[in-house]
Structure 1
């Protein structure tokens, strides 16, 4: 199964206890409550689906819009 924008949004929203539609592309995910343990969970989940993205890349780009740009390029 490929990682799509909708599935990535749902993954992130789940860990922030939001509905996917509530996850704004410009929201700083760390300000919204995402921590390093949850971020590692996402990295591993996405790697299982063949997306090579690093923890550091995500940490340096804290919004979902930036994350999707990284994921879609990977």
Structure 2
């Protein structure tokens, strides 16, 4: 199974208690309430489910779904 941009968006929305449609692809997710603990939790889930190899520092440096997608090996 391949991780997709929409799956990333849905998982982030779930972590934030938001509707996926309300989570932008190109804005800083920290501004929406995504903290380091949530990023780590999401990353661990994606590692387990999809074999993602990106590190926490990679995601924390640029917390945007559009930036994360290629780092996480996501297809469209």
What range describes the TM-score normalised by the shorter chain of this pair?
Answer: 0.7 to 0.9
Match of residue 62 from structure 2: 61
Q: CA RMSD in A?
A: 1.4
Q: Which runs of 5+ in 2 are unaligned?
A: none
Equivalent pairs, count: 73
Which protein, 1 or 2, shows the higher relative CO under an 8 Å CA cutoff with sep ≥ 6?
2
After superposing the two structures, state which structure 1 stretch, 33-42 or 63-72, moved more: 63-72
TM-score w.r.t. length of structure 1? 0.87
Structure 1 segments (4+ residues) deviating >6 Å: none
Q: Structure 2 length normalisation: TM-score?
A: 0.85
Name the structure 2 match of 1:28.
28
